[in-house]
Amino acid sequence: MSSLLMAFSSAKLSRTCRNSVGFRVTESGFPSFLPKEVEKIKDPYAIKLAQRIERLPVKISFAENSILSSCVKPSVQNEKHPLVLLHGFDSSCLEWRYTYPLLEEAGMETWAVDILGWGFSDLSIRPPCNVTSKREHLFQLWKSYIRRPMILVGPSLGAAVAIDFALNHPEAVEKLVLIGASVHTEGTGKLSTLPKIIAYAGVSLLKSVPLRLYANYLGFSGISFNSAVDWTNASQRKAFGLMILDARGRIQIGRLHCLLPWWEDATVDFMISGGYNVCQQIQQIKQETLIIWGENDQIISNTLAMRLNTELQNSTLHQIPNAGHLPHVEKPDSISELIVNFVQEGKITEKESVYNL
């Protein structure tokens, strides 16, 4: 992680108001619109990225007023296609806390954007957060601020967001990067038929610490609560304690956006709308695509990585050893290297699968 520290220490980070909206910054350097619990975060990479989050006004057709939309803007600009990093289901741009600085250090013009309904945007007007709304919001943000064909990066459900967007707005997407792609499910399924009162009860569980702890167990490689710990062995006790502390830190970061007052409404709206169903759209994607998968992904099987590689017209697959569902959190050096090479290299000439990095 030493390269991460170097990257962040060299980044030009401002603690003053950073856009025309004029949001305030706290004494700790965090934008004032973040939940106050951000002050409890200890992870230095999460702290640095959180301090850079800002809100940009995005005008959309389904609301009278612009939505103040949260993102991290690039500190560098160049002539290459900009990178736009999405996130997974019920997450935020903080998902990129380890990989983002490495991409900037490599000279990439990099945005980290919160998908409408999640992250830290101001949704006090309670806009619809269905697939169509998410797509329009991302397009209007791109049209207003990015304005050039981008390399769109989507992890987990963010991959479905990316595929849906690329198919509907091909002029905005130069290439795709799909990480642990959740693209073969048929939307939210039976959840879309739940009565609202039950849907709200279910959604409230999403931010509970026990459920987030279990999600960490599934999402990351090397975490096991089934392993026997020899409590007479000091090194094993210490290792187990560090593992729990690490998981608690990830939970703190991962549920921060859930503490905003509109989070439950936005998530329920998405669930009952039916969600993303892009299974039949995959083969229509023409953009060159990099597929990245953690070899130890316990959430989405590696067999679906190979299936996706065969379905896409122009793709290459890299599997990351000793990584789970979120390799950009676990293996930031590997992921940043893959993405940078993909941005800089020429067109893929044949199907390729790489299982070692």
264 in Cβ contact with 200 (< 8 Å): yes
156 in active site: yes
- State the Cα–Cα distance between residues 99 and 332, nearest whole angstrom: 5
Nearest of 38, 32, 35 to residue 17 by alpha carbon = 32
- State the Cα–Cα distance between residues 133 and 230, nearest whole angstrom: 52
Structure tokens at 15: 């603690």
81 in active site: no
SS3 53: strand
3-class SS letters over 216-274? HHHHCCCCCCCCCCCCCCHHHHHHHHHHHHHHHHHHHHHCHHHHCCCHHHHHHHHHHHC
318 in active site: no
Pairing between β-strand 150-155 and β-strand 83-85 as defined by DSSP bridges: parallel
Active-site entry in 90, 297, 315, 336: 297
Residue 311's alpha-carbon distances to 88, 170, 306, 316, 354, in angstroms, are 22, 18, 9, 11, 17
Active-site entry in 114, 325, 328, 334: 325
Share in percent of the chain as helix, strand, coil (round to 5): 45, 15, 40
Active-site entry in 69, 91, 121, 156: 156
Alpha helices in the chain (DSSP H): 2-10, 44-51, 100-105, 131-141, 157-168, 196-206, 209-219, 234-254, 263-273, 302-311, 327-330, 332-344
Nearest of 124, 98, 153, 126 to residue 138 by alpha carbon = 153
Specify the residue for token string 């695509």: 289
Beta bridge partners of 153: 85, 177
- State the Cα–Cα distance between residues 179 and 151, nearest whole angstrom: 13
For the annotated catalytic residues, the residue numbers are 156, 297, 325
